[in-house]
Structure 1
């Protein structure tokens, strides 16, 4: 449950495979806007309801610069909540002009395991200031000018031109996570029509390269489908775990920036 909540926010932390990478080009118009709200239903092994996650887009300013405030929340429900209660709060603040984050918040309670961290990104000094509110500590870490955080990564990628990708192309960007930089990598699997509660939808399928081991079955354990339209919203995420599987499906939405293209059967 807790791993899928992280995947939903960032497509999970990934490892670099050292292969050729497709360079992205940003869209002229935003793929999202203030008021966008997405809700996802989580399930374990395709039958047990595990919880819900929501992501909302708001607007704010920082030093007179326009910015987005993205809020992601997740919580366990039903039987899962009885033996493993989850309540997560992820927030990122990113400048509209560059879609680079300047502040990131992570407050989680996962079965009694808690974190309360805040990251401030200073691009003049190229450093990330990590404030651990739980332990009342502050550390500084070097970053580069293209850094993203766990949540801003999703919105940065959504605002890139993805329709010109070829099957097998890879996307990579640096992401600051757990006080160090990780290489965030996705492999494009191709186009696919998937069935959702709203109807059949054209989608683009991607595979984040994850760390095989205690949690995930293998490096290719996670698949992500996003809508093949100007919104590029996540539609479905599947993850094969060492024990069982996790899945997230789009449950509700509102405030999309562009038309949501649904294929209706004749």
Structure 2
């Protein structure tokens, strides 16, 4: 594993920065999933950059780990998938807890299949909202949409609408993979929803890069093997960064939705701050072709946040579910 030892000089300020980076990581992998919204941060705060996935120094100390790995969106041409992980009508419902406190709810939905300019796509949406009893602490009403190429699972358009306490912002990204560019519009609102800041820009992107939500659905279509890490390149706003998914062990977990055979993974952002972090994001996916997120936990400064699956709609017989 590539996590470095925490230095003795690591102080509270460093720890606060680490938790901000960990918060962004939550969004990167499921990423992509805004339902860990209590640990979600301002999109302006991310500090990431494009770089080699593993440095020469890390490569030399990691033995043959990199040789036993899988890079899934780093080529010059997209892979054509036979999607077996999700389908139209899939709806996953979750509850979010802060310690023993019920903090909120989230949903992941495959809303529709459409076509635009002869290009077929999935419309996928995740939503997150704080529980009514938690609204007075931090009211959340978030929505993320992605329009995903039907066969190749790369994003055509990404939309993120955040309503978190006093923070209100929209992000729209239109991907032009043929020309390796993305058109970005970011809007920050005042409390009265009048525009406070608007920014439009065009950035260069690697071929067929994934946003935070499409990356998750791409990972669901991979054959996860214990001990074989997965690498992919991800885009968030105007940043390009690399993501490593460590695949650990298989476990049986019981949540409100039932008892499942699962495979445990951990996403690692290729940034020094993440490698130094105490706060870790751990994810358990159903150990079958669907790879549904059964449970997630992430540490924050005080306590931890747990997201658990409560209901599955649109999948009649999940092979990993123990009856």
2:146 to 82, 92, 104: 92
Deviation at 1:26, TM superposition (A): 7.2
Deviation at 1:10, TM superposition (A): 2.7
Q: Is the 8 A contact 1:44 1:244 kept in 2?
A: yes
Q: Which residue does 1:182 correspond to in 2?
A: 241
- d(CA) in 2 for partners of 1:60, 1:33: 13
Deviation at 1:184, TM superposition (A): 1.8
Structure 1 residues not aligned, in runs of 5+: none
TM-score when normalising by structure 2: 0.72
- d(CA) in 2 for partners of 1:62, 1:159: 24
Q: How many residues align?
A: 258
TM-score when normalising by structure 1: 0.87
Q: Which residue does 2:125 correspond to in 1?
A: 71
2:97 to 23, 26, 43: 43
Q: Which residue does 1:129 correspond to in 2?
A: 183
- d(CA) in 1 for partners of 2:151, 2:129: 32
Q: 1:96 to 1:11 in 2, by over 3 A?
A: same
Q: 1:124 to 1:212 in 2, by over 3 A?
A: closer
Q: Which residue does 2:136 correspond to in 1?
A: 82
Q: Which residue does 1:247 correspond to in 2?
A: 306
Matched, 1:194 2:269: no
Matched ranges for 1:1-266 at <5 A: 3=23, 6=27, 8-10=30-32, 16=53, 18=55, 19=59, 20=66, 21-24=69-72, 28-45=82-99, 47-57=100-110, 58-134=112-188, 135-162=197-224, 165-167=225-227, 169-210=228-269, 218=277, 221-256=280-315, 259-264=318-323
Q: 1:174 to 1:110 in 2, by over 3 A?
A: same
> Which stretch of the first structure deviates more once superposed, 102-111 or 128-137?
128-137
* Larger helix percent: 2
Q: Is the 8 A contact 1:217 1:241 kept in 2?
A: no
Deviation at 1:197, TM superposition (A): 2.0
1:192 is paired with a residue whose SS is: strand
* Rg larger in structure: 2
Q: Is the 8 A contact 1:230 1:258 kept in 2?
A: no
Deviation at 1:257, TM superposition (A): 7.7
* Larger strand percent: 1
1:231 is paired with a residue whose SS is: coil
2:207 is paired with a residue whose SS is: coil
Deviation at 1:28, TM superposition (A): 2.9
- d(CA) in 1 for partners of 2:148, 2:171: 17
1:151 is paired with a residue whose SS is: helix
Root-mean-square deviation over aligned CA pairs:
2.7
Q: Is the 8 A contact 1:171 1:185 kept in 2?
A: yes
Structure 2 residues not aligned, in runs of 5+: 1-19, 35-45, 60-65, 73-78, 189-196
